[in-house]
Each structure stands twice: as C-alpha cells, then as structure tokens.
A = this chain, B = another copy of it.
Amino acid sequence: MRSAEGARSSRADQADQRRAELLDAARRVVLERGLASTRVSDIAKATNVSGGLIHYHFATKDDLITAMLRATSESEVRRLREIIAGPGTAIQRLDRVLRFYIPNSRSDQSWILWLDAWALGVREPHVREILLELEGGWIEILTEVISEGMKAGEFTCDDPQGAAERLDGMLDGLVVRYTLHSGAMSRRRLLEHARIAAAREVGVERSTFPA
C-alpha cells in the first residue's frame, strides 16, 4: 500500500525522484565541465551521493548521458510549445520563437550541451535520434507559426516547411558562432540577422518586428 500521507513518496516515487535528480545533476556537470571530462564521480559528488548509486539507477554512464539528453530535449520542446501557445499576432509569436532560440548570455547556454551532443551523435544512433526529434520539433513549430500567419493574412510564403528549415539552419549556425566567438557575433547582431532572414521568408518588412 501507501504510506499514511496520501500522495507522498512510495519507494517507486523515491527512485523516480532520485533518477530525475541524477539527470539534473548530470546536465549541470556536463554543461560546466564538458562531456569529455565529465566523470561519473563528478555527477555523484554534485548530488551528494556515492559513486555506486549512479550505477544502481543507470546501468552504464552512456545510459545516464543519453537519458539526460533525452530529458533535456523533451523539456526544451515542451517549453517552446508553451511559448507559441501564448497570445499575440503571428509576427509576435515568431519573434518569441527567435528570441527563445538565441541564448541570453554566454553562460546561459544549454547550447554547449548540444555542441557536445552533435559530436556524440555522429557515432551514437541513440543520441542522433534524440537530436533528430529536437531539431524536428523546432522545424515543426516554426512551420506551424508561419502557416498560421499565412492563414491570418499576415505572412506570404510558398513553402513554409522549407522556410522553417532554412531559418532553423541559420539559427543553429549563427548560434554556434555566437557561442564560440561571442566577440565576433553579438547577441544583438544575431537577433538582427534572425529577424532580417525571417522577415524575408514570410514576406514582411523587417520593421514589422517589435523593437
């Protein structure tokens, strides 16, 4: 049965919570130290837990990393969906997507994680699959926003899917540049590039975007 206090943690809940905690710590550690120099013991330390416990919950280090990437990707797509679900005109919602795409600062970046994941994904099909879903999510959402803008008469575009792919690609590439060489590409300039390209793709003037 349950312990006395209703919805409180059964042992299964406890294990789930611990697993989530470990995934969270893994993400923090990998962001800070990079995938290549992340040790299982680092993640244990960050959770104040013995090294053995990690292997109790996750058979191998790869399992842990993969699960962490999957969880992060899913949460990112979820947040993105919330963002476009909000109110506003199509152009406003498109702008919100662009701004969500672009990291706020060099330290904010969950982007560092995806750079590691791209390199890993070249060799690991599981990781590749996660990345495909993540990028597919972005493209899908961009496509939706553009299509709805067309229906509302705000946008003109003869290939929303293609436009979304181009926009997503450009943002990926520019964010890499911004992440690695923030000196050569400011956040402001990056956002400006994004708005110029997006405006062209959906057939509106760049000045249509909010200030």
Contacts of A121 in B (CB 8 A): 180
User: Of the candidates B116, B132, B184, B193, which one forms a contact with A166 in the assembled complex, judged by CB atoms under 8 Å apart?
Assistant: B193
User: In the bound complex, what is the Cα–Cα distance between A162 and B193 (angstroms)?
Assistant: 7
B34 touches A180 (CB 8 A): no
A171-193 interface bits toward B, Cβ cutoff 8 Å, 1 = contact, 0 = none? 11110110111001100000001
- Of chain B, the residue at the smallest CB distance from A192 is B162
As for how many copies of this chain the complex holds, the number is: 2
Which residues of B are found within 8 Å of A58, using beta-carbon distances? none
User: Contacts A181-B128, A197-B166, A200-B200: A176 and B118 contacting too (C-beta < 8 A)?
Assistant: yes
Query: Is A80's CB within 8 Å of the partner chain B?
Result: no
A77 at the interface (CB under 8 A from B): no
A124-179 CB contacts (< 8 Å) to partner B: 128, 131-132, 135-136, 162, 165-166, 168-174, 176-177, 179
The answer to whether A174 touches B169, judged by C-beta atoms less than 8 angstroms apart, is: yes
Cβ of A171 to closest chain B Cβ, rounded Å: 7
Q: Judge if A35 is at the interface, Cβ distance under 8 Å.
A: yes
Shortest Cβ distance from A122 into B: residue = B112
CB neighbours (8 Å) of A176 from chain B are 118, 169, 172-173
A53 within 8 A of B: no
Give the nearest-CB partner of A178 in chain B.
B169
- Chain B residue numbers with a CB within 8 Å of A170 are 166, 169-170, 173, 197
The CA of A122 and the CA of B107, in the complex, are separated in Å by 11
Chain B residues with CB under 8 A of A46: none
Contact B118 A119 (CB under 8 A): yes
Q: Which residues of A contact B (CB under 8 A)?
A: 34-37, 112, 115-116, 118-123, 128, 131-132, 135-136, 162, 165-166, 168-174, 176-177, 179-181, 184-185, 193, 196-197, 200
Q: List, sorted by A's number, 9 A–B pairs whose CB atoms are closer than 8 Å.
A: A36-B119, A112-B122, A115-B118, A116-B119, A162-B193, A168-B173, A171-B173, A172-B177, A173-B173
